[in-house]
Structure 1
Amino acid sequence: MTTQLNRRGFIRLAGLGGVVFASGLSGWASAANNAGNAASDFFFVQMSDSHWGFEGAPNPDARVTLPKAVAAVNALEQVPDFIVFTGDLTHTTDDPQERRKRLSEFKQIVEKLNVKQVYFMPGEHDAGLDQGAAYQEYFGKTHYTFDHKGVHFIVLDNVSDPGASIGDEQLSWLAADLDKLAPDARIVVFAHRPLFDLYPQWDWATRDGAKAIALLMPHTNVTVFYGHIHQENHHMTGHIAHHSAKSLIFALPAPGSQPKRAPLPWDSTQPYRGLGFRAIAAVQKNSAPTLTEFPVSKG
């Protein structure tokens, strides 16, 4: 079921071992007030990069990490309004039958989440080898929109194209969707890869992401959440804040911090270090959404 998040409830949420970060986005509260307080307080959870089917180093607990993450989300005192997975649900495989097996197993695990609605999007590991064909059999469209309590959510697909592009057709779809919105509409965008050039040498970019950002730029209240880089990162393109999420399987190094994009070693003294999920709270009294980072517990 869903629940409204009040100030006291969010303080309890943030006290469950999370690290709180206030987004750089401004204007959420004023936009809600200008709409006659049509949007009530709420929060949702972002989970990303579970790579179900991955085996071996650096995560010796690969078969149990996702179920533990599901249990951690279910243990939150406040029930999220919804949960979104920002891609790489499964680990890549050349075998179409194995790809579908992994998608099916992932779906069975996350069906245990205690929440009314879960939204999905593919990562390149899910969709890059077959342009999202198998993914769509289990989870439907790879790009879409939905609305929740006065906020417009846009899910972009920048992975089904093996060339890491959104594509002209989807960009036209995005432009048409944005044309229907007021300049100060509250907008949240989900993508798997970063829309900006974070570190193209490691495939941490979207070839035509700048075109998507240009379409979003006239709107004053936009935040982007993405995955792919297996770590927390915060970046601004003009007034648009971009926030990457931690992975649920293994951590990756900071952009350009080492010669190769190799997973960080497993630390047996601190298992699950660098792994986690986040809660995003839209509280009317705040001028920005508040992000709370939660670890995956070894328990």
Structure 2
Amino acid sequence: MSTFDRRQFMQLAGVGGVVFVSGLGKPALAADTTSGSASEDFFFVQLSDCHWGFEGPPNPDARGTLPKAVAAVNALAQAPDFVIFTGDLTHTTDDPQERRKRLKEFRDIAAGLQVKTVRFIPGEHDAALDKGKAFKEFFGAMNYTFDHKGVHFIVLDNVSDPGAQLGDEQLAWLADDLKKQAQDARIVVFAHRPLFDLYPQWDWATRDGARAVDLLMPHANVTVFYGHIHQEHHHMTGHIAHHSAKSLIFALPVAGSQPKRTPLPWDPAQPYRGLGFREVTAETKAAEYLIVELPVQKA
């Protein structure tokens, strides 16, 4: 596992797969994620873009990478405080019955995580065709908030609207929630699509995401974790850092690097290349993050 010194750490934090967040110094014990207790370093895991139900190239181990990730999380020396999946839990299908079958299978695999709390948000593959009806049957609300050890978490749904947007109602909900937060509150936002225009030609954007960023801008300590683009990417909108997570099914090319958004081919010499997970170390008192990318290991 690679590490960063403090200077590198701050450079990266200023600029989420699986994302690990853990405390600097003495580890904290896992706790109820609904707790709004005082600031304390802690540890959580983000997984994204599992696409359960996808078969064939470019991943000959399409049914293996998600269980491998679950096993990797369970093998951690310290259990994370919580785990969150940030969308595209399943691969899209026009068949409502098959969609529910995939969601159930995914839920059953995720249930193998040996942690107290697991949270979910949808991706467009899970929710776009039925506006999230099946997703809600299995996983509940698609946008919500929770507080944990002095950090306010906001989960946004930017996939169930056919227009690939948050919508006026959700933006009003976000504005109302943010009014209750101090300007120096530590805020983490989870979404599936990027909230900024990374590459709209490939659907790598949220049509009204700029409105959400504008609402977040008055707050000094905001970090956004998202998925959707199947690769590591870091971006700043003002002082707000956005970090994308790698996928657990296939990698996608850098925006605009090829004519079409087709998955990168599987490399037998480097299996799982482009897939993986990352470790993020958080010291909540300073709202700092250390991110370390880790590969999926061959079983």
TM-score w.r.t. length of structure 1: 0.88
**CA deviation vs aligned residue, 1:177-219 (integer Å, no higher than 9, x gap):** 0000000000000000000000000000000000000000000
Cross-structure match for 1:38: 38
The letter for the 1-side match of 2:198 is L
**Contact 1:43/1:279 (<8 A) preserved:** no
Match of 1:23 in 2: 13
Residue in structure 2 matched with residue 34 of structure 1 by the alignment = none
Separation in 2 of the partners of 1:178 and 1:216?
Answer: 7
- CA gap 1:112/1:14 in 2 versus in 1, 3 angstroms: farther
RMSD: 1.9
Superposed, which structure 2 residues align to 1:1-299 within 5 Å?
Answer: 22-24=12-14, 38-284=38-284, 288-299=288-299
Letter of the 1:199 partner, please give it: Y
Shift of 1:277: 2.2
- Secondary structure of the 1:228 match is coil
CA distance in 2, matches of 1:236, 1:116: 33
Q: Percent identity?
A: 74
Question: How far does the alpha carbon of each residue in 1:6-62 deviate from its partner, in whole angstroms, 9 at most, with x for none?
Answer: xxxxxxx867xxxx964217xxx9xxxxxxx92111121110000000001100110
| AA of the residue aligned to 1:280 | V
Partner of 2:30: none
The answer to whether the Cα contact below 8 Å between 1:246 and 1:276 also exists between their aligned partners in 2 is: yes
Asked if the contact 1:275/1:295 (under 8 Å) is kept, the reply is yes
How far did 1:290 drift? Answer: 1.7
How big is the shift at 1:220? 0.4
SS at match of 1:266: coil
Q: Deviations over 1:116-149 (max 9, x none)?
A: 1111000000000000000000000000000000
CA contact under 8 A between 1:225 and 1:242: conserved in structure 2?
yes
> Hey, what's the Cα distance between the residues in 2 that align with 1:63 and 1:95?
20
CA distance in 1, matches of 2:278, 2:130: 30
8 Å CA contact retained: 2:164, 2:207:
yes
| Matched position secondary structure for 2:14 | coil
C-alpha separation in 2, matches of 1:123 and 1:284 = 28
Residue 281 of structure 1 deviates from its aligned partner by 2.6
Deviation at 1:224, TM superposition (A): 0.2
Residues 258/55 of structure 1: CA separation in 2 closer, same or farther (3 Å cut): same
Question: What amino acid maps onto 1:277 in structure 2?
Answer: F
CA deviation vs aligned residue, 1:97-132 (integer Å, no higher than 9, x gap): 000000000000011111111110000000000000
Residue 169 of structure 1 and its aligned partner are, at CA, apart by 0.1
Cα distance between partner residues in 2 of 1:153 and 1:69: 23
Amino acid at match of 2:157: D
Corresponding letter in the other structure for 1:211: R
How much does 1:297 deviate?
1.2
How far off is 1:279 after superposition? Answer: 3.3
Is this contact kept in 2: 1:272–1:296, CA < 8 A?
yes
Q: Distance in 2 between matches of 1:284 and 1:120?
A: 23
Counterparts of 1:146 and 1:280, CA distance in 2 = 20
What is the Cα deviation at residue 78 of structure 1? 2.1
- Counterpart residue number, 1:3: none
Deviates more, 1:224-233 or 1:65-74: 65-74
- 8 Å CA contact 2:39–2:285 kept in 1: the answer is no
Query: Do the aligned partners of 1:131 and 1:160 also contact (CA within 8 Å) in 2?
Result: yes
Distance 1:223 1:149 in 2: 16
Unaligned runs of 5+ in 1: 1-12, 30-36
Distance 1:62 1:168, change over 3 A: same
Q: Deviating runs (4+, > 4 A) in structure 1? A: 284-287
Once the 2 structures are TM-superposed, how far is the Cα of residue 295 of structure 1 from its aligned partner? 1.7
Query: In the alignment, residue 23 of structure 1 is paired with which amino acid?
Result: A
Offset at residue 278 of structure 1 (A): 2.7
Structure 1 residue 70, shift from structure 2 partner: 0.7
The one-letter code sitting in structure 1 at the alignment partner of 2:13 is: S
